[in-house]
Amino acid sequence: MAEQQYQQPSQSSRTTRAMEALARLEAAGEQAANKPSRLRVLSIEGSDPIGGAGTMADMKAFSAQGVFGYAAMTSVLAQNTQGVTSIVNMDPDFLVAQLNAVSDDAVIDAMKIGMLGTPELVDAVKGWLTALETQYQHDAIAKPVVVLDPVMYAKSGDALLTPQAEQALRTIVPMADIITPNVLELAALADAGQPATNIDELETMARLVCERYGVAVYAKGGALALAGSESSTDILAEPSPQDGDVRTTRIEGKTVHTQNVHGTGDTLSSTLAALRPQCDTWEETTRRAKTWMNGAIGAADRLHVGKGHGPVDFTWQHAPTGLRFSADYWNRVRPIRERIHGMRFITSMVDATLSLDDFAFYLHQDDIYLTDYTSLLALASSRADRLDERVFFAQAASGGVDSEVLFHRNWFIKHGFDPAPVSRSEVTAAYIGHEHRVADSGSYARLVAVVMPCFWLYAAMGKEMRDQVRDKHIDVDTHPFGEWIRMYSDPEFTESTLREVQICDRLAAEASIDEYEHMMHAALVSSEHEFRFFEQGLTRPALGF
């Protein structure tokens, strides 16, 4: 049989598809004026007091994806990161009362159905959902997306349902648009003797379940990753509306090595429910969910919630930490601060044993740096989005730096050194280059962050060195570096430093996670350059850069 040749779609067919896609976007835009600002998604799930699974996880996942969440609880659990100690299932009539309280009052764009612990709870949800879809059809309201997490087995392998409840759960599967079984639940729905042990077996079972129930299947491969695979690949199996065949797609991701995976199944299914109305296809939806989940799991270890398997970080894209930017920076920069405070250049300055030649080399390079630094402060003034910040940076670029340059000139003359400019060292060039690369990003926030260490680290050193000189009963007026110490411990410089840090905090609080991390990276790299800048007084790097 001759090999089939790939035929590129004709220009007309590509154009048609593009026009259709554009028309859909335009239609959505025309309807936007009458649409709510947020999609509305319902969680039908059990509780989790520790906040990492169940209803609590769903609400956080909904917020993370920018949707408004409703909730109806199917059960109340006593559980934490170490396990479940008690479960109280809701009375079915009370669950229906909760569901009606939502659907009688508000429109539901999508829903996630999770733990249904008894056959009666399954029947209650089925009856309510059937009535809801009938009502929506009558009222010409779009059918809500239904994501079912078929909760039957824990990651440990423990059965969570009685055989009767498991059998009842199977009857609601066809009412879903997609189901999200783990490997054990997928094996149960496929009536397989053993769970999948590799990706090919996972794909085969997902295809079988998709064919059997006529629903899309998102088969989670996390258990395979926990077993040692470097790839965390899930399978999306979808029934074709045309011929009934099943199409499978591998949704790949990198394994995140962590034990903090409490509630990941709940979080994934609720994320899918939140995202599907925002996407064109299930493939697009699952890829977006996978990317978000990888980030949430990757940030889990820093949460420090519980003594067992902790939850994921739902806020990883919004606020990287509950700390202010300044506190986060000061903590992260600690190793560099300690190296600066303990380096021989600084300790020799304090006890006045540093060679005047070494200090003069440093001051000459600082002259070069400050001339360029002035231009960055002026640029910050031009980019500032508040008048008071424009004034602050304009004043810092003129009066503040001028006083430092004047001190340099006077020190050179007083100690017999030529104040004429010298060539730039490779260390100075590297620091200036870093700052300009950040400035070239066009971001005001990053620019403010990259110049911050030159304020804060100097203010901290000035204060510490002043205290050390005082404790050693050294006269600052006769100290060869006393004017330098006095300048950077001066209250006016401290006030300027505080203002710079406050501006950083404001900008970071308003920034996206990406912008926050760019700010932090800029500040930390500047801090490392500060260490090298002092060190060059002793190492004497090459000039002429």
Q: Which CATH superfamily is domain 37-181+262-302 in?
A: Ribokinase (3.40.1190.20)
Confirm if 507 and 519 have CB atoms less than 8 A apart. Answer: yes
Whether 154 shows a pLDDT value over 80: the answer reads no
The yes-or-no answer to whether 37-181+262-302 and 325-539 have a common fold is no
Structure tokens at 367: 């002259």
The average confidence (pLDDT) of the chain is 89
Q: What is the DSSP letter of 278?
A: G
- The pLDDT tens digits of the residues spanning 502-525 come to 999 889 888 888 899 999 999 999
Average pLDDT over residues 143-157: 88
% of the chain beyond a pLDDT of 70: 92
- For the ranges 176-180, 471-475, 500-504, the one whose mean pLDDT is highest: 176-180
Instruction: Band the pLDDT of 322: cuts 50, 70, 90.
Output: low
pLDDT at position 7 is 47
Length of the chain, in residues: 545
User: In this predicted structure, what is the pLDDT of residue 2?
Assistant: 40
Residue 76, beta-bridge partner list: 88
Lowest mean pLDDT among 26-40, 142-156, 242-256, 451-465: 26-40
Which pTM was predicted?
0.71
Give how far Cα 487 sits from Cα of 400, 466, 482, 492, 494, Å: 11, 10, 9, 9, 10
In this prediction, residue 324 carries a pLDDT of 81
Alpha helices in 333-355 (DSSP H): 334-342, 344-350
pLDDT at 444 over 90: yes
Domain spans, the chain: 37-181+262-302, 325-539
What is the token pair recorded at 220? 């989670």
* pLDDT surpassing 90 at residue 317: no
CA distance from start to end of the chain: 67
* Cα dist from 475 to 394, 469, 482, 528, whole Å: 35, 8, 8, 31
Q: Which candidate, 51, 93, 52, 87, places its Cα nearest to that of 72?
A: 93
Supply the pLDDT for residue 173.
97
Task: Check: CB of residue 44 under 8 Å from CB of residue 74.
Answer: yes
Q: Has residue 355 got a pLDDT over 90?
A: yes
Neighbour tally for 142: CB within 10 Å? 12
Class of domain 325-539: mainly alpha
Spatial CA neighbour of 226 closest among 194, 201, 196, 259: 259
